[in-house]
Amino acid sequence: MSKKILIAEDSLTMRSLIVSTIAAMGDYDTVEAANGFEALRILPREKVDLIITDINMPDINGLELVSFIRNNESYKETPLFIISTEGSERDREKGMALGANAYLVKPFAPDQLQKLIREYLA
């Protein structure tokens, strides 16, 4: 079974771009959440091998999602990337301190994301 990647991102276009970047790799399935709450719903339902989250979402923020995942026995080892618009250095530091494995700045280069995914899911 191919490995599954959860994408939490509230912009439909951005989400589609991430999905198509992953689809181009051919090896992975994706599951999409339009906000943090949806991501929380999906986590217990699906076996997810990697999580990609935005920081600015309308309900819970991406940092809270990272913290939740890292403090949860079931997902604490799941690789997690933050993709956010370049902005607050503080938010970035916090994200990494909370245990994100990588922080990508939008607009990200597709091959950069693909490289990271291969690195963590190989």
Partner 1 sequence: MSDTSSSQALKDFISETEEIIGTLNYDLVKLADAVETGDCDPDVLNGIFRGAHSIKGLAGMFGFDDLSSLSHAMENLLDGLRLGKVPFTQPLVDTLFSSLDVLIQLIDGKSNDENFTLDLVPILALIDQSAEGEASSAEDPLAGLDIDPGILNVLTEYEEHRLLENIRKGRAIHLLRMDFELSSFDQELAEITEQLKQQGEVVSTLPSAGEIGERIAFQILFGSELKRSDIELLLSRDDLDISTCGRADVEMEPEGFVLEEPDARPDTAMATLERLPAAVEEVDAGSSMRSISRTVRVDIDKLDLLMNIVGELVLSKSSISNIGDRIKASADKELATELAKATRILERRLHELQKGVMDVRMVPVGQLFDKMTRIVRRVSNEQGKKVDLDIRGADTELDKLIIEDVSDPLMHIIRNAIDHGLETPEERRQVGKPEKGHVQLWASQKGNHVVIEVHDDGRGIDTEGVRRKAVEKGLISEGQSLSEEEIYDLLFMAGFSTRDEVSDMSGRGVGMDVVKNNIAALSGMIEVKSTQGQGSSMIITLPITLAIIKALIVQVGDKTYAIPINSVLETLMIDADVIQTVEKREVIELRKSTVPLLRLNQVFGLDSEEEKTDEKRLFVAIVGLAEKRMGFVVDELLGQQDVVIKSLGKALSFVQGIAGAAELGNQKTILVLDVAGLMTEALRGESSLNV
* Distance of alpha carbon 55 from alpha carbon 10, whole angstroms: 10
Q: Is 90 in the site for partner 1 (CB under 8 A)?
A: yes
Tell me if 38 contacts partner 1 by CB under 8 A. yes
Q: Is the peptide bond before 107 cis (omega within 30 degrees of 0)?
A: yes
Q: Are 34 and 53 in contact (CB under 8 A)?
A: no
Closest CB 105 distance from partner 1, rounded Å? 9
43 binds partner 1 (CB under 8 A): yes
Q: Is 66:82 a contact under the CB 8 Å cutoff?
A: yes
CA distances from 40 to 65, 102, 120 (A): 8, 20, 22
Verify binding: residue 101, partner 1, rule CB under 8 A: no
Binding mask 8-27 for partner 1 (x = CB under 8 A): --xxxxx-xx--x-------
Binding positions for partner 1, rule: CB under 8 A: 10-14, 16-17, 20, 34-38, 40-41, 43-44, 55-56, 58-61, 63-68, 71-74, 85, 87-88, 90-91, 94, 97-98, 106-107
